[in-house]
Amino acid sequence: MKRILTTLFLSCCLGGYAVQEADIHIIPKPIQLTQETGAFRLTPQTVISYTKGLQPQASYLQEILSASTGWDLTLQEGTENNDNVIQLSLNPEGNTPESYELSVRNAGVHIEGADAGGVFYGIQTLLQLFPAEVYSSVRQKDIEWEAPAVEVKDAPSHPWRGMMLDVARYFFDKDFVKKYIDMMAMYKMNKLQFHLIDDSGWRLEIKKYPKLTEIGAWAGKDQNRLGGYYTQEDIREIIEYAQVRNVEIIPEIEFPAHMLSAVSAYPWLSCHGEPREVPMQHFISRDLICVGKESSYQFLQDVLDETVSLFPSRYINIGGDEAVYDNWEKCPLCQKVMKENGLKKASELQGYLTNRVLQMMKEKNRTIIGWEEIIQRGKLDGQVVALIWHNEKDTIQAVEKNHLAILTPATHAYLDFPESKTPGEVKAATWMPPISIEKAYSLAAKDYSPSSHVLGVQGCLWSDQFIHGTILQEIVPLNENRSENYAEYLTFPRLLALAEVGWTKEANRSYKDFAQRLTSHYARLDEKGCNYRVPEPTIAKMDETAEGVTFTLTESVEGAPIRYTTDGSYPTIHSPLYTAPVKVDTKNNFRAITVVSNRHYSLPIYFAYDYAEYKQFGEFTAEWKPSIVPDKVTPWKIDATGKISGNGTYEVTFIQTNGANALKLNGIRVMKRDEVLEDIKEVQTVRKQHQVTYRFHVGSFEAGTPFTIETQIQGEGGNNTNGAVFIKKISE
Ligand code: ACM
Ligand code: ZN
What ligand is nearest to the CA atom of residue 330?
Answer: 2
pLDDT digits (tens, 9 = 90+) for 16-49: 344 444 479 999 999 999 999 999 999 999 999 9
Average pLDDT score over residue span 423-436 = 85
The residue nearest atom 3 of ligand 1, judged by CA position, is: 321
For the chain, the 3-state helix, strand and coil shares in percent, each to the nearest 5, are 30, 30, 40
Query: Which of residues 518 and 467 earns the better pLDDT score?
Result: 518
Domains identified in the chain and CATH numbers: 32-154 (3.30.379.10), 160-512 (3.20.20.80), 538-594 (no CATH), 612-731 (2.60.120.680)
CA of 304 to the centre of ligand 2 (A): 21
N- to C-terminal Cα distance for the chain?
Answer: 54
Q: Say if ligand 1 is within 6 A of residue 389 CB.
A: yes
Q: Which atom of ligand 1 is nearest to the CA of 462?
A: 2
Q: Say if ligand 1 is within 6 A of residue 322 CB.
A: yes
The residue nearest atom 1 of ligand 1, judged by CA position, is: 321
Average pLDDT score over residue span 59-75 = 97
Number of C-beta neighbours around residue 59 at 10 A:
14
For residue 722, pLDDT over 90 is answered with no
Q: Which of 166, 318, 322 to mutate to test the pocket of ligand 1 (most atoms within 8 A of CB)?
A: 322
Q: How confident is the prediction for the chain on average, in pLDDT?
A: 92
What ligand is nearest to the CA atom of residue 326?
Answer: 2
CA of 591 to the centre of ligand 2 (A): 58
CA distance linking residue 680 with residue 668, whole number of Å? 5
pLDDT digits (tens, 9 = 90+) for 215-255: 999 999 888 888 999 999 999 999 999 999 999 999 999 99
Spatial contact of 163 and 458, defined as CB atoms under 8 Å apart: yes
CA of 651 to the centre of ligand 2 (A): 39
What ligand is nearest to the CA atom of residue 371?
Answer: 1
Spatial contact of 261 and 198, defined as CB atoms under 8 Å apart: yes
Kindly provide the b/e burial profile for residues 506-517, where b requires at least 16 CB atoms within 10 angstroms of the residue's own CB: eeebeeeebbeb
Q: What SS3 string covers 428-487?
A: CCCCCCCCCHHHHHCCCCCCCCCHHHEEEEEEEECCHHHHHHCCCCCEHHHCECCHHHHH
At 11 the pLDDT is: 35
Q: Give residue 525's pLDDT band: very low, low, confident or very high (50, 70, 90).
A: very high
Q: Give residue 3's pLDDT band: very low, low, confident or very high (50, 70, 90).
A: very low
Number of C-beta neighbours around residue 305 at 10 A:
14
When computed from its CA atoms, the radius of gyration of the chain, rounded to whole angstroms, is 28
For residue 4, pLDDT over 70 is answered with no
For residue 449, pLDDT over 80 is answered with no
Query: Which of residues 571 and 658 earns the better pLDDT score?
Result: 571
Q: Which atom of ligand 1 is nearest to the CA of 410?
A: 2
Q: Say if ligand 1 is within 6 A of residue 702 CB.
A: no
For residue 583, pLDDT over 80 is answered with yes
The residue nearest atom 2 of ligand 1, judged by CA position, is: 389
At 77 the pLDDT is: 96
Q: Give residue 727's pLDDT band: very low, low, confident or very high (50, 70, 90).
A: very high
For residue 545, pLDDT over 90 is answered with yes
Average pLDDT score over residue span 344-348 = 96
Q: Say if ligand 1 is within 6 A of residue 371 CB.
A: yes
Please name the residues in contact with 559: beta carbons below 8 A apart, sequence gap of 6 or more: 3, 4, 5, 6, 523
Q: Which of 258, 285, 321 to mutate to test the pocket of ligand 1 (most atoms within 8 A of CB)?
A: 321
Q: What DSSP state is assigned to residue 392?
A: G
For residue 280, pLDDT over 80 is answered with yes
- pLDDT cut 90: percent of the chain above it: 79
- DSSP assignments along 548-598, one per residue: EEEEEEE-SSTT--EEEESSSSPP-TTSPBP-S-EEESSGGG-EEEEEEET
For residue 176, pLDDT over 90 is answered with yes
At 427 the pLDDT is: 76
CA distance linking residue 701 with residue 672, whole number of Å? 8
At 478 the pLDDT is: 47
